[in-house]
Amino acid sequence: MNTKLRRTGLAAMALTVSFGMAACGSSDDSGSASSDSSSSASSSPSESPSASESAAAASGEFGSACSAVPASGPGSFQGMSTAPVATAASNNPVLKTLVAAVTAADLGDTLNSAQDITVFAPANDAFAAIPKKDLNALLKDKAALTKVLQYHVVAGKLSPEDLAGTHKTLEGQDVTVKGSGEEFTVGSADANVICGNVQTANATVYIIDGVLSPPAN
């Protein structure tokens, strides 16, 4: 038992790594870039927002990584809003690694059948920041992986106005969210919300740039 707990603890400690904003870059800027290397606001019109950014502004999503969400199709904000959360995430390329982890833990049906939940969903680059050996070990340890993933889920579809505060997770322990407006951090590692208020059929999703680790108990 001590050996398993030690391995689980090491894997969970590795998950406190908070990744920067690499997942947030938009791939749509090149088409509207000026031919000059030094752009001037007075010499050229401002760039028009991408389709996904416009959709986010219209439907309430916020954050720099929202521009990486597909503008149309099942993985778009509109497409995700009609599917339960695990299915919706599987259609979004920003959340591929999270979906692989949910699949490995056999949590897809649990999340899809839950009513009114909030999910803090680590982006791909959040998982990429974890040392590969530690991540692979966690993905093979179903009990530890389930515990970590459940720590990213809280009851209720929390709006941005209700997000700040301490919330009990599906894992059983509390997670604290700090901030207001469109700037929030989640957990002790202060993972940033990089695309928030994403709606699915049964959940509100806040995409974050770090993987949360349950407190040791």
Secondary structure (DSSP) of 127-142: HHTS-HHHHHHHHH-H
The span from the CA of 202 to the CA of 17, in Å, is 29
The span from the CA of 154 to the CA of 86, in Å, is 15
Q: What is the mean pLDDT of residues 201-205?
A: 98
Q: What is the mean pLDDT of residues 11-32?
A: 40
pLDDT at 24: 38
Look at the alpha carbons of 12, 14, 17, 22 in this order and tell me if their dihedral is positive or negative: negative
Evaluate if residue 196 carries a pLDDT over 50: yes
Q: What is the mean pLDDT of residues 49-62?
A: 61
Evaluate if residue 98 carries a pLDDT over 70: yes
Evaluate if residue 132 carries a pLDDT over 50: yes
pLDDT at 2: 44
Evaluate if residue 60 carries a pLDDT over 70: yes
Q: How far apart, in Å, are the Cα atoms of 11 and each of 5, 102, 139, 210, 214? A: 10, 16, 10, 14, 11
The span from the CA of 107 to the CA of 112, in Å, is 9
Evaluate if residue 215 carries a pLDDT over 60: yes
Evaluate if residue 11 carries a pLDDT over 50: no
Across the chain, mean pLDDT equals: 82
Evaluate if residue 105 carries a pLDDT over 80: yes
More confident residue, 2 or 175: 175
pLDDT at 179: 98
The fold of the 11-22+52-208 domain, in CATH, is: FAS1 domain (2.30.180)
Min mean pLDDT across 8-22, 82-96, 154-168, 170-184 is at 8-22
pLDDT at 4: 42
Confidence band (pLDDT; 50, 70, 90) for 33? very low
pLDDT at 34: 41
pLDDT at 30: 40
More confident residue, 59 or 21: 59
pLDDT at 216: 84
Evaluate if residue 7 carries a pLDDT over 70: no
Confidence band (pLDDT; 50, 70, 90) for 189? confident
Paired with 199 in beta bridges are: 204
